[in-house]
Amino acid sequence: MPNAEETERTLKARAQALAREPGKAQAADALEIVEFVLAHERYGAETSFVREIHPLTNLTPLPCTPAFVLGVVNLRGEIVSVIDIKKFFELPEKGLTDLNKVVVLQSATMRFGVLADAVLGVRRVPVAEIQPSLPTLTGIREQYLKGVTSERTIVLDAEKLLKDESIVVQEEVER
C-alpha cells in the first residue's frame, strides 16, 4: 500500500496528464502532409496550407507572365492562378496529361494552385524523421524546403512559398 505522499504524487501526475489538450502532443510530434509527385520525385506540403485538390481542367493561359505561371482555372466561380513549380524549381518537365492535379495552397494573404503530376494522398510524418535537405537538392528549391523524410519525400515549406514576392506577377502591358 502506497503512503500518502506517493498517492498524492501519483494523483498529481494523473491530473496533469488528463489536463493536457488531446492531440496537442501528437500534433507537435508529426506533420500531416499531402504527398504528390513532381518530375518523378515525391513532394509534400502541410495540410494546414492545402485548401483543396482539383483535377486540372479548363486551364486558361495568361500572356505576358513568367514561364512558371501556367494560367488560371475557374474553381466553382473563383479564379485561381496555377503555378508550374517544376519550372519555378528548374526541374525536368513531363508535359500535361489528364492525370495532372492542382494542389491549391492558401494562407491568410495568398492563394494559388501548384501543378502536380499525381497526388499520392495524405500521411503523417514524424518531425524527428525529417532530415535537412539533401546535397542534390540545390538551386532555387533549396530555400523552399523543410527537409526530406527517410522515404525521400521532399517536404516543402508551403508558408515560405505563399509569402514569396517573386511568385506574385504584377506586370502591366502598355497600350
Domains in the chain (CATH in brackets) are 23-166 (2.40.50.180)
115 to 30, 67, 103, 104: CA distances (angstroms): 25, 13, 6, 9
What is the pLDDT at residue 103? 94
Q: What is the pLDDT of residue 25?
A: 46
Angle at 25 between CA 24 and CA 26, to 5 degrees: 90
**Chain center to CA of 35:** 8
pLDDT of residue 173: 54
Q: What is the pLDDT of residues 133-155, one digit of tens each?
A: 665 555 556 778 888 888 889 89
Q: What are phi and psi of 25, to 5 degrees?
A: -65, -40
- In this prediction, the residues of the chain whose per-residue pLDDT falls under 50 are 25-26
Strand locations in 47-93, DSSP E?
Answer: 50-55, 69-75, 78-83
Q: What is the pLDDT of residue 45?
A: 94
